[in-house]
């Protein structure tokens, strides 16, 4: 038993050293710094708008009464499949105003997961275009090297953190990351939605 524990500990230590020396932690840190500022700005702006301009609770109630849920879910799927154009947090807030919030939250998480899969295959398809391939292997060669090097951990970061998951999924597709592993790591997308919902449901 102790031997197994030591083996697992050694594996974790080796993995930690590998990601430390290859610059993975630095890469994630820089990505988070770039993402945190606009996210904080957006949250602050939303709070100010909610207090002085629009009551978001009434707004989302109006949306749920005006538009069919299927239309909103389809818009969300399109967004999650194409670069994550609309922040998922907006849709999470919308789900709180539905008759069964947890059900709709789960639908959103599932559609985000499916959207990521669509993005994965878009990434695979894009890389078959000669001009795109030449550009990626030229100007983007350094970034591709990093993505190939870290693979699964980047998918985990994209699934959990406020970084467009669609972009991470496309990147996984361009490097032909093993699809089975991509599906496995992508399940963390559900964790993100449920955790964010705890905060957002209390806000709106």
Q: What is the pLDDT along the chain (204 residues), one digit of tens a residue?
A: 555 555 666 666 776 676 666 666 666 666 556 556 655 665 666 667 667 766 666 666 677 677 888 989 998 999 899 877 778 888 888 898 888 999 999 999 999 999 999 999 988 888 777 776 665 555 555 556 666 666 677 777 778 777 778 888 888 888 788 898 899 889 999 999 998 888 777 765
CA–CA dist 92, 101 (Å, integer): 9
CA 114, CA 69: separation in Å to the nearest integer? 18
Report the distance separating Cα 10 and Cα 199, nearest Å: 37
Q: Is 162 among the domain residues?
A: yes
What is the residue range of 86's domain?
11-203
Tokens read off for 169: 């999924």
Residue 2 located in a structural domain: no
Domain for residue 3, yes or no? no
Residue 137 falls within a domain, yes or no?
Answer: yes
Total structural domains in the chain? 1
pTM of the model: 0.68
Q: How would you label 86-104 residue by residue, b for 16+ Cβ within 10 Å and e otherwise?
A: eebbbbbbbbbbbeeeeeb
Instruction: Indicate whether 6 belongs to any domain.
Output: no
* CA distance readout (Å), 83 to 26, 78, 117, 142, 194: 24, 9, 12, 21, 21
The answer as to whether 4 is a domain residue is no
């Amino acid at each position: 038993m102790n031997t197994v524990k030591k083996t697992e500990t050694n594996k974790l230590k080796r993995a930690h050293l590998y990601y430390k020396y290859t610059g993975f932690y630095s890469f994630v840190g820089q990505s988070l710094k770039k993402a945190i500022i606009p996210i904080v700005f957006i949250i602050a702006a939303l709070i100010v708008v909610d207090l002085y301009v629009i009551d978001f609770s009434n707004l989302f109630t109006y949306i749920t009464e005006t538009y069919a849920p299927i239309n909103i879910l389809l818009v969300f799927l399109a967004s999650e499949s194409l670069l994550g154009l609309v922040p998922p947090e907006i849709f999470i807030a919308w789900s709180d105003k539905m008759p069964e919030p947890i059900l709709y939250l789960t639908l959103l998480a599932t559609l985000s997961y499916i959207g990521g899969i669509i993005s994965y295959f878009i990434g695979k398809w894009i890389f078959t275009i000669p001009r795109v391939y030449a550009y990626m292997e030229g100007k983007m060669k350094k970034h591709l090297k990093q993505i190939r090097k870290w693979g699964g951990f980047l998918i985990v970061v994209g699934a959990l953190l406020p970084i467009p998951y669609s972009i991470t999924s496309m990147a996984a597709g361009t490097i032909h990351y093993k699809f089975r592993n991509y599906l496995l790591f992508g399940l963390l997308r559900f964790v993100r939605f449920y955790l964010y919902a705890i905060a957002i449901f209390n806000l709106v």
